[in-house]
């Protein structure tokens, strides 16, 4: 069972095979150049996320610890999502009744997202959770769990 953790805030966790600290790793924003789909299929024009890509597609589980900023994901996380496009094919599938990019890899990890931050309404929190679900559904993850970080801390206290 290979597990990786991507975090914007530290949270006690069992050991992982790869740790991606968003506060420490500086990476480029997506430039929309489509090198990853045309000139070097599957590879981004920048090599600053190569270790992350390798860890992600070879993982069984990916745990995200995300900060909520103005009721949404941060700019850094949004850029990370944009930069994940090389992991998928440019071709479109309609198998699920809508347009979706075809997978490039034989499998993608299950994803659990723990989020921390303030929402000003239930509607905002719901929109945030729906967005995260949709991103990883589009990214072909089979099991996607999105919950507040406090739930994880409470579970640990109970244990």
Structure tokens at 16: 């992982």
> According to CB under 8 A, which residues from 82 to 141 bind other proteins?
82-85, 87, 89-95, 97-99, 104-106, 120-121, 123-124, 127, 130-131, 134-135, 138
- Select the span of 7-15, 18-26, 28-36, 151-159 touching other proteins (CB under 8 A): 28-36
Alpha helix stretches (DSSP H) within the chain: 50-57, 75-82, 122-138, 149-158
Q: What does the CA dihedral 83, 86, 90, 92 come to, rounded to 10 degrees?
A: -80
Smaller CB separation from other proteins, 24 or 96: 96
Residue 22 touches other proteins, criterion: CB under 8 A? no
Distance separating alpha carbons of residues 76 and 99, to the nearest angstrom: 26
3-state helix, strand, coil in the chain (%, to 5): 30, 25, 45
Residue 150 touches other proteins, criterion: CB under 8 A? no
Question: What residues make contact with other proteins under the rule CB under 8 A?
Answer: 29-33, 37-43, 50, 53-54, 56-58, 69-76, 78-85, 87, 89-95, 97-99, 104-106, 120-121, 123-124, 127, 130-131, 134-135, 138
């Amino acid at each position: 069972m290979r597990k990786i953790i991507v975090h914007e805030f530290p949270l006690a966790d069992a050991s992982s095979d790869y740790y991606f600290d968003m506060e420490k790793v500086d990476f480029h924003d997506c430039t929309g150049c489509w090198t990853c789909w045309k000139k070097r299929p599957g590879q981004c024009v920048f090599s600053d996320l190569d270790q992350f890509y390798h860890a992600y597609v070879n993982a069984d589980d990916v745990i995200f610890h995300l900060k909520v900023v103005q009721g949404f994901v941060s700019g850094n996380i949004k850029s990370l999502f944009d930069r994940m496009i090389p992991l998928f094919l440019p071709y479109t599938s309609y198998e699920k009744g809508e347009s979706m990019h075809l997978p490039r890899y034989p499998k993608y990890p299950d994803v659990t997202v723990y989020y921390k931050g303030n929402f000003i309404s239930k509607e905002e929190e719901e929109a945030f959770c729906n967005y995260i679900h949709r991103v990883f559904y589009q990214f072909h993850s089979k099991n996607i769990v999105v919950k507040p970080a406090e739930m994880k801390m409470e579970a640990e206290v109970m244990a």
